Structure 1
Amino acid sequence: MELNEYIKAKYVGSSQWFVEHVSEPSQQMRVQDIHSKKEYLNGSHAILNRPSYNYNGKQYNPRKLVVSYAKTLLNFQKSFLLSKPVVFTGKERVVKAINEINRKGKMDRINTKILHNLLAYGEAYEYLYIQDGKIKSRVIDSEEGYPLYSHNEELMAFVQSYVNDGISYYVVYEKDTVREYNNEGGEVHLIGEYTNLSGLPVIYKTDNELSHTKGKSELDDWIFILDEIENLLSKFTDTVYKNMNPIPIAVGQELKGNGIASNIVGMGIQLDDGSDFKFASIQLDVEAFNSLYDRLIQSLFDISSTPNVAMNKAEIANVSETSIRILYSLANVKAKINENYMRDGLEERLNKYRVLLGYLGKNFTNNEFETLDIQFAYDVPSNDTEVINNLKTLYDMQSISIETLLDKNPYVNDTQQEMERIHKGTVGNNSNIHNDDIETVEISEGMNEG
């Protein structure tokens, strides 16, 4: 279905259909959910809503311990997948062009930002454009993005909506044009229209069992456990402080005085024969607390696919490469899922690169572009000595090529660049040897003549 037909059918052909689209209840609920995730990551947790209460006749403000584990888990997943730059392989000419765009546009940083939005909010949006002869990328805030899908889940348009200084702004992306509107003065009106060279924004999304067009945040699986951890820590801390005020109990007759003065510390008392004095306090079940806390933490790590050893919750000695991979097996599974989310968007980004490069006078054939592939390097701790020894053994056996060896080398990020450096070094060494031989021959001839 064409966009104009969809607008005519759903919005009765309104020229301000984008305002109605942004105001739809389903869109507002989605945006409000994203905003609540942002507030949570900023420190607004449910534990902060604990009310005060009376204790021993006084108003008591309970402890409210905020644990920012969500940020730590997100940082781990981002770092595990993208701590090493994404590598593009294929025909040298097209790879060189892609790497140049990525370097000038600082795409590695943008990839990290996209992955953060993808994991934290379930969706991420990226718009590619040309500025000053360079291809650049702009990440659209997930809270400001409103994709428009047809009934068959095809992206037809995209609306970015935000408010600044009390003025509402709308940026409407269509396949061929980008239009900007605002309501300054009370009425929504057009303030700019531009040619859209790259088409609609790239949409990254996670899987959602309830929708094929909306993603699902990782926080939805973590928040309930994190709330329980904060609740447990806060209540246990309250209990500890309350037990610092035990109740004194005297059994029998005191020999002298009229009781213990409340303003004296360290005062001795005398009791009649057979009397007793003690403090009564609640006995804390520390073992039960530790057991419950450890179980909650382990459940959190299991659900988020985070290895205990990565969060300093386990101690290990020197282990082999295989043992390390076993410890990180669940993290590898999760990284593969996140990689697929990123790969879907990056492949669409590459197609837009090709279109924009054409506008810059750099054209590539289908065969050249079809050779492109994307490689991710997970940040798994490794025994580099063992890896290098294995590679050396395989190379000596002529079982792998020098290019494959460099691909697997933990100290090499860009195989193609390293191959070029090795080639230049080899050519340079051969030239030096040749020149030395010539000089030796000239010296020998000179000695013979003498």
Structure 2
Amino acid sequence: MNLEQYVKAKHRNNEHWFVEEVNTVANQQRLMNVEAKKDYLMGNHKIQNLPSFMYNGERITPRKIVLNTAKTLLQFHIQFLLKNDVVLTGNEKMIDELNKVNKLGKYNAKNLKILSNLLKFGSCAEYVFVNKKGYIDSKIIPADEGTPIYNHHNEMIAFVQSYVFDGISYYTLYEDDVVKEYNNEGGSMKLSAQYANLSGLPIHYHSHNEYSDIEGSSVLDDFIIILDNMELLLSKTVDATYTHFQGIPVITGQRLTTGGIPKELVSGGVHLDDGSTFDFKSNDLDIKAFEALYNQLNQSLLDVSGTPAVSMNKSDISNLSEVSITMLFGLAEVKASENESYIREGMMERYDKIRKLLSFRGVTITDEQYASLSLLFKYNRPSNESERVKDLKELRLLNGISLESMLEHSPYTTDVSMELGRLKAESNQIKPVKNVNEIVEEDNALVK
């Protein structure tokens, strides 16, 4: 089913069918879910809805301790995967062209933004185009603005970007060969601009979802329930410390003083008859039970998120070997590998579109060259760099690795192509050392 058939079947050829598509119940529920995640990241947590309570005849506003741990966990996984730039490998001529596009379009920063949206909200989109400066660029469409449209074969046939600014609704409709912009300024929906679409439909990034192959799920859904309980446990414990754990003075026998019991008992005293007693009665705080509950929740949070405790300052380390570090970050690498699969698929589609746009400029990348393209992700795992360099050196001496591959895996190389060019320039400048026979022959020639 193509777009024309879809509009005819679902929207009865309505000219402004994209407005109906954005306002469907399913899409509005998805957008509300995204807004809820944004509110949570802004600090609007469930604990803030905790109702007040009565204590000693007074209405008490409870403590509402907010933990922004979710932000830290998200930032860890984003940086663990993409702190080191993604390296492109393959045909040298092709890689030179693609690296040039990456630098001019600032794609390394865009990768961070895409992964951030992907983890927080489960999806986002990227539209590749040629900007006003003539560079190949991309526009990142956040999840709360983008509405992908799929047919019954789970094939994307159109994409709608919608948002409201200054009381005016704006819609951008992406079709295979054209991009149309609409707005309702003045009270009626009208077409405001139209452009040729050279790169095709936007790229729809989405994470794994058990219930859908075309919609992603936010990792915050795994964190929020545990964090809500941690916040509730902390808040309730602090409230109990200042209310229910306060002592109540109890006197047995005859009191000799008149008047009430002084409130400032630290510096005052109470006169009692012989045999009388005075003490404070209070609930006991089981600190061990509190620590056990909180530590168990915290450990569950780290397990579910795939975050090593050592990276969150939850454990002490000393004199760890390379193998020990690999084991500590094993779960984090599993999580990073999963996130890599989501973003890798979209990035390969991005380079399909970039290749197409380059062809319009006369830059041809053959199928054989493009088939050699590969993306190399370097996880930000602590490692012993001297050991890695030593291993690379031994492989190079055994002719078990090429110079280019060695530079790609070197912890000190940021741009492989540039480094290869520099090495080639240095080799041309350095003259080979002459042996004794060559020197003698040159001297004899001069004498003759």
TM-score computed with the length of structure 2 as normaliser: 0.94
Give the counterpart letter for 1:221 in structure 2.
D
CA deviations on 1:415-445 (whole Å, 9 max, x unpaired) are 33322222222222227x68xx9xx99x989
Letter matched to residue 59 of structure 1 = R
Secondary structure of the equivalent of 1:97?
Answer: helix
> Which residue of 2 is the match for residue 173 of structure 1?
174
Q: Find out whether 1:298 has 2:309 as its counterpart.
A: no
8 A Cα contact 2:245 2:283, kept in partner: no
- The amino acid of 2:269's aligned partner reads G
Residue 54 of structure 2 is aligned to residue 57 of structure 1: no
- 1:239-388 → structure 2 map (5 Å cutoff): 239-242=240-243, 245-262=246-263, 265-388=266-389
**Residues of 2 paired with 1:156 and 1:256: CA distance?**
89
SS state of the match for residue 380, structure 2? coil
Query: 1: CA distance between counterparts of 2:404 and 2:146?
Result: 43
**C-alpha deviations, 1:361-396, integer Å up to 9, x for none?**
212211111111111000010012222233333334
Indicate the SS of the match to 2:144: helix
User: Matches of 1:397 and 1:365 in 2, distance apart?
Assistant: 33
* Aligned equivalent of 2:134: 133
Moved more, 253-262 or 38-47: 253-262
Distance of 1:256 and 1:221 partners within structure 2: 61
Q: Secondary structure at the match of 1:143?
A: coil
Deviation at 1:259?
4.6
Report the equivalent of 1:150. 151
Give CA-to-partner distance per residue, 1:210-237, whole Å, 9 cap, x none: 1111111111111111111111111011
Aligned residue identity for 1:46: K
Q: Distance in 2 between matches of 1:429 and 1:337?
A: 47
Separation (CA, whole Å) in 1 of partners of 2:251 and 2:63:
32
Question: Retained in 2: the 8 A contact 1:89–1:373?
Answer: yes
Quote the offset at 1:68 in angstroms: 0.7
Secondary structure of 1:142's partner? coil
Report the CA distance between 1:239 and its aligned residue: 1.1
1:9-56, Cα deviation, whole Å (9 max, x unpaired)? 111111111011111100100111011111111111100001111111
- Separation in 2 of the partners of 1:268 and 1:247? 16
For the 8 Å contact 2:245–2:284, the answer to whether it is kept is no
Alignment partner of 1:67: what SS?
Answer: coil
| Cα separation, 2, equivalents of 1:392 and 1:332 | 26
Cα-Cα RMSD: 2.3
Give runs of aligned pairs for residues 436-447 of structure 1, distance below 5 A.
Answer: none
Q: CA deviation at 1:258?
A: 4.0
The structural deviation recorded for 1:250 is 1.6
**Which amino acid is 2:9 matched to?**
A
Q: Distance in 2 between matches of 1:210 and 1:26?
A: 14
Which residue of the partner structure matches residue 390 of structure 1? Answer: 391
TM-score (norm. length: structure 1): 0.94
Q: 3-state SS of the aligned residue for 2:250?
A: strand
Distance 2:111 2:348 in 1: 13
Distance 2:318 2:414 in 1: 28
Residue identity in the other structure for 2:252: V
Report the counterpart of residue 72 of structure 2 in structure 1. Answer: 72
Contact 1:133 1:360 in 2 (8 A): no
The letter of the residue matching 1:344 is: E
Distance in structure 1 (CA, Å) of the matches to 2:187 and 2:408: 60
Kindly state the Cα deviation for residue 397 of structure 1 after the two structures are TM-superposed: 4.0
Match for residue 99 of structure 2? 99
Q: Partners of 1:92 and 1:404 in 2: how far apart? A: 12
Gaps spanning 5+ residues in structure 2: where? none
Does structure 1 retain, via aligned residues, the 8 Å contact 2:245–2:285? no
CA contact (8 A) 2:159 2:201 kept: yes
CA contact (8 A) 1:34 1:121 kept: yes
In structure 1, how many angstroms separate the alpha carbons of the residues matched to 2:322 and 2:266?
Answer: 61
Q: Deviations over 1:140-171 (max 9, x none)?
A: 12101011101111100000111111111110
The answer for unaligned runs of 5 or more in structure 1 is none
Closer/same/farther in 2, CA of residues 171 and 367 from structure 1, 3 Å limit: same
Provide the identity percentage: 45
